[in-house]
Structure 1
Amino acid sequence: MPVSAIRQVVPLGAQWPGVDPFLFAVHHRDEFPAAEGETMRPAAFLEGRSIGGDFSGKDGWSMYHGSEVPGFPQHPHRGFETVTVVLDGVVDHSDSLGAAARFGHGDTQWLTAGAGISHSEMFPLLDPDATNTMELFQIW
């Protein structure tokens, strides 16, 4: 009888359980509200959210570490690789060396996180008239 390569099946959640201490995987799916004009911010009250650390999923979305635009403002990583796949929505990525790019809607980014370099991953809301869906997964 053949042995299955599948070791474990778990429900898809925000953070996936890992069997390897050197592998971290997350999944984000948010139904952000319409954008507030050209600010790329949610046209919604932010009351009741822990701004700077909002992972609540309240109303179907989180601000994460963003205070105005959802996402992850400047933060360091050191000495590992990240792969980000954006299934829907866009990510604005920038780093402390001046590199910047927007990717999304099926794009994949492979990032080598080097010592002394900070980067940010923000989720701009581009549609002022409809829901701004964001879905991505990331493996470190």
Structure 2
Amino acid sequence: MRNKSVSILIFLAVFLTASSKAVNPKDHLGEIYKVALNSIMEKDEALSSGMRFIAVDMSNFDKLDEKVKEEIIIYLKEKYKVDVMDATFEELKEKGYYNPDTLALDGVLLRIEDIDFPFNNHFF
């Protein structure tokens, strides 16, 4: 019985210590965006078949500095072996990446509207 009580106390001590050191996901936004963008690409193989480029609309990535944005671009470029750029749909049209005959882009445009952080902005 005493061993069981000691085991429970050790478990509670470890659990409470781990819980008090919660990770703030906002400190890891670059990694979170990489995972999210990659999961979009992997969800639909039709997205990546025959694509000439990947454009990521980072116009609303307000909390990311330029270094982290560049890391995201490099990650996608190395993973998918195509040109990757930070551009909105309008910018892609201006650059000639939009085909008015097919009403489609010659590549993929990824945009994340919002990221919701559960657990009061902390992951456990």
* Structure ranking higher in helix proportion: 2
* Structure ranking higher in strand proportion: 1
On whether the aligned pair clears a TM of 0.5, the verdict is: no
TM-score, length basis structure 1: 0.25
Greater relative contact order: 1 or 2 (C-alpha under 8 angstroms, separation 6 or more)? 2
